[in-house]
Amino acid sequence: MTEERKNRVIVLSEVPFQILLVGLLIAFVTVGSLLIPKLFKEKTKSKQNDHIVAILLSAFAVATYFSVSNVIPQAYLGDLFVNKNNVQEVEQGQARAFSLPLPLVINEYEQQPITVQAQDTDEEISVVIETTNYQDLVDFIRENESLIRADQSVDMVSYYQQNVSETIKQIIDEEPSGFDQDYLIEQLTERFPQHQFTYVEN
């Protein structure tokens, strides 16, 4: 199995996901209720034991339902599910996605170009950043878990501020002849090929 196929993102809309999850749990409870009592090595079967088993299985199924629902990433129209090898856009309503490891979610409103600022000696520098390849960000984001929210969505604003803004400051400080916007954009493009950069005149 190739790495790409192994990391494939499988997307299901919310209704089929719920039907599949509930159906599997009902099947588990049903089969468990039939099989587990047969494992009791009692000469006389007890209906009370059967009820206890059914209650325990049902409680386990309910706990599993909420646990799985919270763990599997959820996204909405226009959002992206992303892992190292795949990007899947949610094309309608609400959806869930599976992959190993679980995919990250890029919210639609955080896919828009963003302007970041850095302070030069004499003026404030503004650069517009647009991400063109989210897959190349996955390793960095997973290494910096503070960028991943509880729902598996990525805090892209914090990513830009912590990563790109700091690099802009470093490039400005490194330039001995003073600020050069062409040099800045060239260096940013070289260091972050997954983004497009545009200098903004203030």
Q: Which two tokens stand for residue 76?
A: 């909405």
Whether residues 24 and 82 share a domain: the answer is yes
Whether residues 100 and 155 share a domain: the answer is no
No. of helices (H) and no. of strands (E), the chain: 7, 9
- Of 3-12, 60-69, 127-136, minimum mean pLDDT range: 3-12
The answer to whether residues 111 and 80 touch, using CB atoms and an 8 Å cutoff, is yes
Mean pLDDT of 166-194: 84
**What does the DSSP 8-state code read for residue 118?**
E
Peptide bond into 101 cis (omega under 30): yes
Residue-level pLDDT at 129: 94
Whether residues 93 and 130 share a domain: the answer is no
Whether residues 121 and 99 share a domain: the answer is no
Q: How many domains does the chain have?
A: 2
Residue-level pLDDT at 46: 64
Whether residues 32 and 96 share a domain: the answer is yes
Mean pLDDT of 124-141: 91
Choose the final residue of a domain: 104, 135, 155: 104
Q: How confident is the model at residue 43 (pLDDT cuts 50, 70, 90)?
A: very low
Greater confidence, 43 or 170? Answer: 170
Residues of the chain with pLDDT > 70: what percent? 86
Residues of the chain with pLDDT > 90: what percent? 48
Q: How is the beta sheet containing 10-13 ordered, strand by strand?
A: 10-13, 94-98, 74-76
Whether residues 70 and 126 share a domain: the answer is no
Q: How confident is the model at residue 120 (pLDDT cuts 50, 70, 90)?
A: low
Mean pLDDT of 97-118: 90
Whether residues 58 and 128 share a domain: the answer is no
The answer to whether residues 77 and 91 touch, using CB atoms and an 8 Å cutoff, is yes
Give the whole-angstrom CA distance, residue 22 versus residue 7: 25
Asked whether residue 109 carries a pLDDT value surpassing 70, the answer given is yes
Residues 6 or more apart from 30 whose CB is under 8 A from it? none
Give the whole-angstrom CA distance, residue 17 versus residue 24: 11
Whether residues 18 and 96 share a domain: the answer is yes
Choose the final residue of a domain: 54, 80, 104: 104
Whether residues 96 and 8 share a domain: the answer is yes
Range of the domain at 175: 112-200
Whether residues 175 and 118 share a domain: the answer is yes
**What does the DSSP 8-state code read for residue 69?**
H
Whether residues 126 and 193 share a domain: the answer is yes
The answer to whether residues 85 and 3 touch, using CB atoms and an 8 Å cutoff, is yes
For 18-33, how does the pLDDT look when each residue is reduced to its tens digit (9 = 90+)? 999 999 999 988 888 7
Choose the final residue of a domain: 76, 104, 132: 104
Whether residues 88 and 180 share a domain: the answer is no
